[in-house]
Structure 1
Amino acid sequence: DCIVHAAVRGVTKRADGKFVLALDDGAAQSFDRVIVATTTRAIQVRMGITDTSNLFAPEVMRAIKETHMVSSSKLFILTRDKFWLRHGLPHNIQTDTLARGIYCLDYAPDDPYAHGVVLISYTWEDDSHKILSLTDKIERCKRLVAEIGAVSPAFAAHLFPLDNDYARNVISHDWLLDPYALGAFKLNHPGEDVHSQALFYQFQTAADPTVDSGIYLAGCCCSFTGGWIEGAVQTAINAASAVIHSLGGTLAEGNPLDAMRSRYRYGD
């Protein structure tokens, strides 16, 4: 077994068929087979795999480059207590303001005196894009609380971090700016199901030695159910089956490589 605690920055295939993984700590590792389970955007932008034409078929390359990913933003506030319980305030607020969704999270339901957590600005796509310019989390937090104050002044009056420490007790995250994801999850635009099919069935190249490159896609971005663990698990099993078969191993009857034949014919 080999566990490498470093991000992969590139994958290339040598003339002898082995793969070389370039790591962000400057090191390199070689392997016989590779499973790529990151997002399609990370495959293209961070790892540059699509610059190497001999790894994937053209339709798979296109799917990696064109598959849509959702942007999302979240901001969490650690509060001194679960004020919504003490003051009979709503546990969830939905608005048409910049804040959009506000969720009160109780991680210690058996302890009425425990800290609380409030998730605000649970936003997607355009609503997420609007607040990307608020790069300072303190400024963003106060701006969003002000928006909530216009809807529920009583709730907003309690919405400040523990010890008034915004630096430590406020966390903000934008998935579009996440260097390891570049988006929250795959969500097809109309007509992009053909891309999902190209990504999902890519692992079946292992069944044909003439087209088997030894690299296989997995993860929810390469499934039909982007953003859900089911798609990630299913594609992981698919890719593992591909590796076993490609290296000469024996698969159990009913395995995905042999048994999965149904595809939707988009031209019909």
Structure 2
Amino acid sequence: MPVRGSERAYKRLVVLGDPHLPVRVEKHPDKAKRQAIVAAKLRAIADINSWPDVDSIAVVGDIVARYSIPSEYDFIRQYFSSVKVPLYVIDGNHEILYEDEPNENGKLVKGDAESRRRKLQHFCEFWQLSKPYYSLELGGCHLIFLATEGPLPTQIGAEQFAWLKNDLTEHPQSTLIFFHGPLMGTLLNYNNSVNKKSTVAQPVNELHDLLMSNPQVRLWISGHTHTPATNDSFAAPEINMYGSRIMNIHNSDMDRKHIWTNSLYIYGDHIDIRTFDHRSQDWIENYDRQIRLDD
């Protein structure tokens, strides 16, 4: 018999990285492959729904396929309709940054400030958020969900940054931060876009100073880089650790036939991080990680 959440020693949060719903047609032109990818995404959400101890799900941006248009949101509504636990979402660059259609060469076209504002407002209205960034409590920890605001793909705006600074001041307990972009230097330079201005959380220097002055921040949970679980730095604490204290939990995108998800098991004095392989239907035990909250 499943143990009720109130009787468990932990709270479990499952993280979804970059779902790109329903599928990026331009990335996957073959129809059969697109169908297989959508099927894998449906299996992943079915797996999560079958786990009796899940307390909540977090989605770290790029929920839309590419353009943040009505057809994408229609599929998103259908996709998450079966979820029975709280769903915490943040936007990524694809929610706000681009025009509704590509150029004549099929390339993304960046929108202006008004376009970003309009698309972010729609994101909030769709998800019934008063603001695109917010915080809450879970399992004795403080969870912060930050929004991508542009014009860089992983940029936090000045007003939001001031809010973050104040929120950290008001909440000295162990803290987890969810944001679309990872922290600088928490992945190997395995391609030409990793650890670059457009792929790490911005503003880099201001964030560094803020994080180092708030020792309660223990995890930074990100997507954006589409780093697969097969990558050497996906789950390597010696690489993922920022400032010798904050572990960056990277999450692979879901726009693929082989999907992995991370689960955070939040206990009173530590957090266990485990990675599930939805294709093999098994845990990757050598990716099990833990961070102490009482250090």
TM-score of the superposed pair, with normalisation by structure 2: 0.25
The structure with the largest helix share of the pair is 1
